[in-house]
Chains A and B, each alone.
Chain A
Amino acid sequence: MLRTIATILWKDLRIELRTRDALSASFVFCVLVLVIFNFTLDLGSEEARRLGSGFLWVAFAFGGILSLNRTFALEKADGCSKSLMLAPVDRGAIYLGKFLANVVFMLVTQVLILPLFVVFFNVPAESAVPLLLLIFLLGSIGFSSVGTLFSAMAANTRMRELMLPLLLLPVSIPVLLAAVETTQYALGVNENASDWFKLLIVYDIVFVVASYLGFEFVMEE
């Protein structure tokens, strides 16, 4: 089981290392979202600090959808998904491998975006970096857990890539809200966020388990 997960994870990471498709797309897209928000809203420095966390997570969510869409679109070529399904391994292990790869992609994008965010929004984030990384990890786990499942579902529809945001964004509202509130806490905008941390963790646990179980049904032929 663990070896299967590691194999799938490593396969997806290696494809990414060679093509850099998902990462470059989601990184550039995140930068664009942040820049566009700054342009269109023309924020003052105090407003930027207060509202920045929201923009940051909107960028992460949209960028995340771009890379999530590739997870199963990738397997459509050369009948890869058929071979994956024929492989004598647990479907859940395939899900977990793909899910972990997506968490890694999201985290890498977030780590690359953070310095740009600090510069663009003039946020004093230096002392908060460890806490921010923890929030990024928890948020990415929650978003990618359902995201990986829905990406597999979207790959089965006529709309393909267009379907994923329609499915994923409504269900992700709790995790996005919790991520924004905890990020605000880390940046010193909020006083107390212990409830939000709990919500993040509960969301992660609930949806990793639910998506793991649901994946079994989604992938059957």
Chain B
Amino acid sequence: MKGRDYILPALVFVSMLLALYLVGFYAPIEREQGVVQKIFYFHVPSAWVAFLAFFVVFVFSFRYLVSRDKRWDNRAAAAAEVGVMFCTLVIITGPIWAKPVWGIWWTWDARLTLTLVLWLIYVSYVLLRHYVADAEKRATLSAVLGIIGFIDVPLVYFAIRWWRTQHPQPVIAGGGGSGMDPRMATAFWVSLAAFTVLFVYLYRVRAKQHDLEDEIEQAHQLADELPATGKGD
């Protein structure tokens, strides 16, 4: 690793520490929800990062289909994998927060349901990649799915919103966002920035791994094409 390769992990480390400090000691404890409200500082940034990641998948899928450069496919794959991980975090932290506050683990609320559907779409994206053997085929098929899946998002959003308004749901006490304490807002924005930097870092590591895998694969192919030396296979 060169010197500048340490800049990003260092930034992740510092911003995460700062975010943890602000969330734990600086932001006041919410009057009605108590300590459990702290999960908000991890839940919402994870959701933002997941949505950002799926948008990145869409952009790179498109770029792959235009350029046919395998590196764009590697980037789309990296963003999808990291995005699914953050989306999983959203779905895990959601019920942990909902149970003490709403009294239920899960509600088919519009945002929760949208996140769940997105999770399902991008899990199927990762599965598809797993089940196509040929690298070029895998890149093309997953690029098509990356685009189709993203086009689907607004339609899913409207479907779920209308579906929700027709079915009554439990009354949710104290929705977030309204009249937040400025210290809470500071902690939230720092946490959001920290998660975004973390995403960029993880994404770059994963993309790099995919690039290296390709290089190794190419080296193997080259070795196979060389005339047999008589030693081994």
Contacts and interface: CB of A to CB of B under 8 A. Distances in A.
Contacts of A159: 131
Interface stretch (B32-40, B52-60, B139-147, B181-189): B139-147
B146 to A, nearest CB: 11
B132 A158 contact: yes
B65 A217 contact: yes
A167 B131 contact: no
Nearest to A142: B155
Contacts of A195: 158, 162
A199 B162 contact: yes
A128 B160 CA distance: 26
Nearest to A206: B151
Interface residues of A, number: 32
B209 interface: no
A196 B155 CA distance: 11
A22 interface: no
B144 A217 contact: yes
Contacts of B137: 156
Contact of B121 (A153, A170, A199): A170
A149 B152 CA distance: 14
A158 B149 CA distance: 21
Given A171-B121, A206-B151, A206-B155, A214 B144 contact: yes
Given A157-B131, A158-B132, A195-B162, A166 B151 contact: no
A211 B162 CA distance: 25
B120 interface: yes
B141 A173 contact: no
A203 B65 CA distance: 23
A177 B128 contact: no
B104 interface: no
B163 interface: yes
B91 interface: no
A196 B159 CA distance: 8
B35 to A, nearest CB: 35
Which secondary structure dominates where chain A touches chain B?
helix
B117 A170 contact: yes
Interface in B97-118: 117
B18 to A, nearest CB: 37
B124 interface: yes
A126 B62 CA distance: 48
B128 A202 contact: no
A208 to B, nearest CB: 12
A174 B158 contact: yes
Nearest to A219: B140
B143 to A, nearest CB: 7
B148 A174 contact: no
A8 interface: no
A102 B124 CA distance: 23
B166 interface: yes
A218 B151 CA distance: 17
A217 B160 CA distance: 31
A178 interface: yes
Nearest to B140: A217
Interface in B73-132: 117, 120-121, 124, 127-128, 131-132
Contacts of A190: 166
Interface string A165-199: 01101110110011001000000001000011001
B133 interface: yes
B162 A153 contact: no
Name which of A149, A177, A203, A207 has the most chain B CB atoms within 10 A of its CB: A177
B8 interface: no
A170 B140 CA distance: 20
Interface of A: 146, 149, 153, 156-159, 163, 166-167, 169-171, 173-174, 177-178, 181, 190, 195-196, 199, 202-203, 206-207, 210-211, 214, 217-218, 220
Given A159-B131, A196-B162, A202-B155, 8 more contacts: A149-B148, A156-B137, A157-B128, A157-B141, A170-B149, A173-B117, A181-B163, A214-B148
